[in-house]
Amino acid sequence: MCDYTQVHYKCSHLRYTVRAWCTKYQETHKRCPANVVAIEYRLDENCGGFWSDKRTASF
């Protein structure tokens, strides 16, 4: 399993960032289930999908 960090943002969104790709992913480039090994709080910043000037995010 690949190791991920769960990141909490000011806007209440969550993101999962990879810490380390497992050997299986490195060989096949197919993602396996996330293994969350750390939680990080970035409560002083919004995620990239949030804008304060009321534009709408397109996902």
pLDDT tens digits, 1-46: 899 999 999 999 999 999 999 999 999 999 888 899 999 999 999 9
pLDDT value of residue 49: 72
Residue numbers of the domain that contains 8: 2-42
* Domain assignment of residue 50, yes or no: no
The distance from CA 20 to its chain's CA centroid, rounded to whole angstroms, is 13
Put the strands of the sheet holding 34-42 in their side by side order: 14-20, 2-9, 34-42
Strand 2-9 relative to strand 14-20: parallel, antiparallel, unpaired? antiparallel
Domain-embedded: residue 32: yes
Q: Give me the number of domains the chain comprises.
A: 1
- With 70 as the cut, is the pLDDT of residue 48 above it? yes
Nearest to 22, CA basis, from 6, 5, 34, 13: 34
pLDDT the model gives residue 59: 46
Q: Which pLDDT score, from 0 to 100, does residue 44 have?
A: 94
Write out the H or E segment, with its range, that includes residue 57: none
Higher pLDDT, 55 or 31: 31
The DSSP code for 11 is: T
Q: Evaluate whether residue 14 is within a structural domain.
A: yes
